[in-house]
Amino acid sequence: MSRNSAGGNMLDKAARILHVFQRAGGEFRLTELSAMSGLSKTTTFRLVGELVRLGFLERAGERYRLGNRLFELGSLVPRRLDLREAALPFLQDLFEGTRRTVHLGVRDGTDVVYLERMHGHDTLALPSRIGGRLPLTCTAIGKALLAFSASELVEEVLAAPLPRLAPRSVTDPVRLRTELEQTQISGLAYEEQEAAPGVCCIAAPVFAGATAVAALSVAVPREHYRPAHLAPAVRTAALGLSRVLKGGTDFAISLGGHRPAL
C-alpha cells in the first residue's frame, strides 16, 4: 500500500479513526472524527465511507458508531475469549455475593482493557466499559496488574507523569510505589475515587502459574465502601479463577511477571 508525505498509508489512517472509538466510545459526527483523529475532513469522509461499507462502522443519522463486524471479529480473539469464559462463573458469584458492579480486566501496555462488566443495582458513573481501556494507575484492577508486572514496566510507569482521571487520582510516584508494595503483600489493590468521583473499587490479581494474566474487581459507591466486607469476596473469586487457570499457558495475556522488585 502506497504511502504519502501527509503521514502514513490509508490503513494507518483508518486505524486512527477506529482508535477514536476505542478511547471514547459512543457515536461521533464526521467533524468530530476528523478533529479527534487529526485527519482532514476530506480524508475522514472517504475513509468513514469505506469503513461503513465494510461493516466496521455504522451510520446513525449524522453520527457514526462501531459496526457489528468489529464485534464479530473481536469475539473470535482466542485467548481473551477463553479467559472471559473461564472467568464468567466467578464474576457471577462475586456479583451475587456483593450485588455490586464487577469487572474483569487485563493489561495492555500501560492500560487496563475491560473484558467483562456486570452491573450492580447502584447507578454509578463509571468510566469503564467492555472493550474500553483506562490507565493502570487510576484503577484498582490496574494497580493489581501493575503490582505483579515486570519490574521494568513498573519503573517505566513510575518514571513517567502519572495520568489524572479524577481529582483524587494518584499522581505521586512515591505514593503509588508504596501502594504497589502493599498490593504485593496483601494480594489486594484499592482505589478510592481515583477513576471517578464517588466510586471506590477493590481488585485482586488472577494468576496462570506465576503470571498475573487478569484481575477482578468490585466497584461500589463511596458511602457503601466497606473494604473489610468486600475484600474476602474479591480475593475468593480471584483465587478460584486462578486455580482454574493454574499451569496453563494459553492465558498469558499480561506481559508482567510475579512480584517485581520495586
User: Does 90 share its domain with 38?
Assistant: no
Name the 3-class secondary structure at 143: helix
Residue 262 in domain: no
Range with the poorest average pLDDT among 131-135, 165-169, 177-181, 254-258:
254-258
Domain containing residue 164: 77-245
Residue 250 in domain: no
User: What residues does 204 pair with on adjacent strands?
Assistant: 216
Is pLDDT above 50 for 183? yes
Task: Sort residue 122 into left (φ over 0), alpha (ψ -120 to 50) or beta.
Answer: beta
Task: Decide the pairing of beta strands 133-135 and 111-118.
Answer: antiparallel
Q: What is the pTM of this model?
A: 0.69
State what percent of residues in the chain have pLDDT above 90.
51
Higher pLDDT, 147 or 253: 147
User: Does 86 share its domain with 38?
Assistant: no
**CATH at residue 29:** 1.10.10.10
Q: What is the pLDDT of residues 54-94, one digit of tens each?
A: 888 888 888 888 887 776 566 555 455 588 888 999 999 99
User: Does 42 share its domain with 89?
Assistant: no
User: Does 146 share its domain with 182?
Assistant: yes
Is pLDDT above 50 for 5? no
Q: What is the pLDDT of residues 128-173, one digit of tens each?
A: 888 888 999 999 999 999 999 989 999 999 999 999 999 999 999 9
Give the neighbor-by-neighbor strand order of the sheet with 28-29.
Answer: 28-29, 63-66, 57-60
